[in-house]
Amino acid sequence: MPTVEADPGPFSFAPESTALLVIDMQRDFLLPGGFGESLGNDVAQLRCTIEPLTALLAAGRAAGLKIIHTREGHLPDLSDCPPAKLRRGPMIGKEGPFGRILIRGEYGHDIIDELRPEAGEPVVDKPGKGAFYATDLSKILDNDGIKSLIVTGVTTEVCVHTTVREANDRGYECLVIKDCVGSYFPEFQRVGLRMIAAQGGIFGWVADSPAVIAALQE
Amino acid sequence: MTATIGPVRADPYPWPYDGAAPVNRTALICVDWQTDFCGPGGYVDAMGYDIELTRAGLPATAKLLQHVRDLGMLVVHTREGHDPDLSDLPANKRWRSARIGAEIGGPGPCGRILIKGEPGWEIVPEVAPAPGEVIVDKPGKGAFYATNLDLVLRTHGITHLILTGITTDVCVHTTMREANDRGYECLILSDCTGATDPANHAAALHMVTMQGGVFGCVATSDDVIAATEG
């Protein structure tokens, strides 16, 4: 069984029951000139994940891992956007440089070209930060007998953390890939990763992508 | 006329988003104030952590509980724990707890660790549930997964949540994230929470306030009490 050096200890996984989860690598969050940048964020903090994630995705596909992508977004009529979220994010649904912001079907809502899903890879659309709530992710994982998740994407302390917390409560083993998750805020990248592995791995494990790629290629 | 709470002086905006939370649409959530986590002789204490850190929020929470009980607000207590036969305990959760010397279901200083019905699993007396208050038993960190919490809240017409409990970065945060995705307007209280690591307590509160309040707002219990009208 492939084993990866990780914090707080070695992480072993069976490729046939492991999925690589790629969270919210959407143009709205990652493209220069996009919605994320318009909020005053430095998208370079997120874009540094693209290169290692591209390599990890290739290795995961070659090893036959199930690949699952997620996108945060809402229906065009905003009927799945809670009022409390809309009030705090009044730009949701407004015209942005890449179409209506965080609206399904718009250019900005879709995944960046570098990480485009391949045919047959599920894309889970989620209305919240977590990828389990109000989605069919649990069903997809159960149907394929998935037990372990290799987690990547953005942002570390928001959508990645919420999804890992949901997955952990559901009994999935989560390995979060340090160089393939990103936050606009370096402080949150640091503490977000530290919280995952604290107390004996209270939410899961943390490792680097080269270690995972090496384990997949063994 | 229904009493209301708000606008509460909070970070990053006066809470709630819609101006004032009617008391009959608001619930106080008290997360995992259990002996094993914050009581003298509980397992966190026995493992050598400083329980003053997890107990720090008890006096303010006890005072706030009295305040909201007088208002007639819904109070929900949660407890993390598992069935005695461990049938609701994920294998990896058990394995990880054993690895740090506190195996769930194993013998602890206050009975079997995190098992329903054991003394260590009970809520500490300072913030013990009053008769009639809702108690939600949860097998995970989040209070929504595999529980009836969402149903209880919706049945009561609840739209706004005020969160207290331990630990800030683990069970309180996971519950707040779940609630936020479900559309509840959340307020976490900095003086009614706590963590075994003060840096994680501070970082978890800070995370709430980013991006215009990505999970809601942060305030103190005095802010809530001061913003009560009627």
Domains in chain B: boundaries: 4-84+123-229
In DSSP terms, B108 is beta-bridged to B111
| β-strands B185-194, B217-219 pairing | parallel
CB < 8 Å to B146, chain A: 169
CA pair distance A110, A99, nearest whole angstrom: 11
Confidence of residue B1 (pLDDT cuts 50, 70, 90): low
Task: List pLDDT tens digits, range A47-102.
Answer: 999 999 999 999 999 999 999 999 999 999 999 999 999 998 999 999 999 999 99
CA distances from B142 to A154, B25, B96, B113, B188 (A): 21, 21, 18, 19, 15
CATH code reported for the domain at A3-217: 3.40.50.850
Looking at the partner chain, which of B96, B139, B215 has a beta carbon nearest the beta carbon of A201?
Answer: B96
Nearest CB to A87 within list B17, B180, B207: B17
Q: Check residue A74 and report its DSSP letter.
A: B
CA-nearest of B146, B114, B134 to B27 is: B134
| B70-109 pLDDT, tens digit each | 999 999 999 999 999 999 999 999 999 999 889 999 999 9
Question: What was the pLDDT predicted at B151?
Answer: 93
pLDDT value of residue B100 = 87
User: Is B185 close to A129, i.e. CB distance below 8 A?
Assistant: no
- Count CB-CB contacts under 10 A for residue B229: 11
Distance CA B135, CA B168 (A): 19
> Residue B100 and residue A194: Cβ atoms within 8 Å?
no
pLDDT band at residue A126, thresholds of 50, 70 and 90?
A: very high
Q: Judge contact between B105 and B82, C-beta under 8 A.
A: yes
DSSP for residue B20:
-
Q: How many CB atoms lie within 10 A of CB A116?
A: 12
Residue A39: pLDDT over 90: no
**B4-84+123-229 — its CATH code?**
3.40.50.850
CA A61 – CA A120 distance, rounded (Å): 12
Three-state secondary structure of B55-91: HCCHHHHHHHHHHHHHHCCEEEEEEECECCCCCCCCH
- What three-state secondary structure class fits A86? helix
> Is ipTM over 0.85?
no
Q: CA B162, B167, B172: angle at the middle one, nearest 5?
A: 35
Instruction: Yes or no: say if B82 and B88 are a contact pair by the CB < 8 Å rule.
Output: yes
Token couple for A2: 């492939």
Distance between CA B24 and CA B230 in Å, rounded? 12
A200 Cα to chain B: minimum distance (Å): 6
pTM given for the model? 0.90
pLDDT at B47: 84
Average pLDDT of the residues in B134-145: 97
- Asked if the Cβ–Cβ distance from A199 to B174 is below 8 Å, we say no
Tell me if A40 sits within 8 A of A200, measured CB to CB. no
In angstroms and rounded to an integer, the radius of gyration of the C-alpha atoms of chain A is 16
